[in-house]
Amino acid sequence: MTKSIYERIYQKLSQLINFKQLKKKSYLKYESAGFMDLHIDFLRYEEKDSFIIAMAHNYRQNGDVMADPDMEIRIFPQLKMAEALTFQQDNLGIFQRVY
């Protein structure tokens, strides 16, 4: 049986993020030499069966923090699914909302 895109997104994120640790700390930062840091923030619970996280690479330009990119993602842990909600790429002037 082929997994849905939502199940595949969840599977990839769960390989990267410890969701229990994120909810406890509310913020995680991953560093890798030669790459921008990856910032992951727990934003809020959404309804009783899901929560929202933000995932972003950031850099400074003329004193401003620029998203490169920044996304909000809804996680459904019981269903093992996740869906993108927003996408922002500051240097290109892009902001997209799914709903």
pLDDT tens column, 14-44: 999 999 899 888 999 999 899 889 999 999 9
72, pLDDT greater than 90: yes
CB contact at 8 A, 10 and 85? no
pLDDT, residue 14, reads 95
Measured distance CA(93)–CA(71) in Å, rounded: 14
Category of 93 on φ-ψ map: left (φ > 0), alpha (ψ -120 to 50) or beta: left
In a 13 Å sphere around the CA of 68, the CA atoms on its Cβ side amount to 12
